[in-house]
Structure 1
């Protein structure tokens, strides 16, 4: 149903209950059934539908990036849904400015990445708007899409050359992106992995 060639923009292919059921059928970290059914999935669905992204794809990316909400970055207080700003930088001592860093108590080190105060007002809008920025070139947005992108990029900027560089899932991977950068690095099969999760959500497998 989905492949790495699937466009990021598209109509919803699964409902809130179906997407939530997929997450809940697997280990989902510290997040409760209420968190997932009443907050995380409905907000993804609403924001994606408003801007023309298939919510199934955005949630599939979140599931892939966070191990179905089980990762350090997905957990509170980070609430990072998609590796936003997670560059792989790490150090044992606190950085001079801890903004854009989080202390990982399991690894006893500071790691670079963006933390979000809430899922509904911060993390999910930052993810959806950033995904939209990858899909749409500057000037191709309608007013609702433009507002979503501007809101997202206040959390972490995106170079102008990256705008519209990934209209399909495959191009989210650096090695397939025309700019030589991307959401994931190297990201050889990044789009294919998201597509596989999305297919499982829709088919219920």
Structure 2
């Protein structure tokens, strides 16, 4: 059973089939069953396990952040799994340098955020590496963890001072991060961020095994 105080690092607790079926049982944007069951979920497990991140929590974060893959930023060609770089900044005219921006045709405006070329090789590594950066102090990583963090931070920088400031999913919310006053935290204010992720993770665990 997950709670807001569950650690980011941990073993896999649900089968890939449970994670896929949870997503597929709800509206899931433009993504097909093959996209979800054969590409996205296997990539989460493949990337999470060698570096010690609980894939159920990573998938639950993605579901929470993207509205179960229905949000604008999660759709192709953005493929943003967790609001990475989506700061709320927007403008009606095209930026002089559109890198780091995407045109939201639903809202008819340009919005700041990071887009990713693929899920398996870009988007998911960026999310998992960023989770590792929050969970681990600099210098405490294994070589695979260090490599994934470096890859994630190549898409969007991460302040060195924030390293290791969130060992639990609750601390990913700025309101509960010990460095939140300095800007640390995945979600802002994120009062119930950990609870929301834990709730989804527990719902995934409750999906019957086929």
Aligned to 1:68: 68
TM superposition shift of 1:117: 0.6
- Gap runs ≥5 in structure 1: none
Aligned to 1:186: 189
The counterpart of 1:204, out of the listed 198, 203, 207, is 207
User: What is the root-mean-square deviation in Å for CA atoms of aligned residues?
Assistant: 0.8
CA distance in structure 1 between the aligned counterparts of 2:175 and 2:37, rounded to whole angstroms: 35
Where 1:154 maps in the other structure, the secondary structure is helix
CA distance in structure 1 between the aligned counterparts of 2:120 and 2:47, rounded to whole angstroms: 10
TM-score of the pair, normalised by structure 2: 0.96
User: For residues 20-63 of structure 1, what are the alpha-carbon distances to aligned partners after superposition, in whole Å with 9 as ceiling and x for unaligned?
Assistant: 11111111000000000110000001101110011000000000
Ranges of 4+ aligned residues in structure 1 off by more than 2 Å: none
CA distance in structure 1 between the aligned counterparts of 2:28 and 2:151, rounded to whole angstroms: 28
- Gap runs ≥5 in structure 2: none
TM superposition shift of 1:97: 1.1
TM superposition shift of 1:203: 1.4
CA distance in structure 2 between the aligned counterparts of 1:171 and 1:60, rounded to whole angstroms: 16
Where 2:155 maps in the other structure, the secondary structure is coil
TM-score of the pair, normalised by structure 1: 0.98
TM superposition shift of 1:96: 1.5
User: For residues 161-186 of structure 1, what are the alpha-carbon distances to aligned partners after superposition, in whole Å with 9 as ceiling and x for unaligned?
Assistant: 11111000110001111112210000
Aligned residue-pair number:
205
Aligned to 2:47: 47
TM superposition shift of 1:204: 1.6
Aligned to 2:116: 116
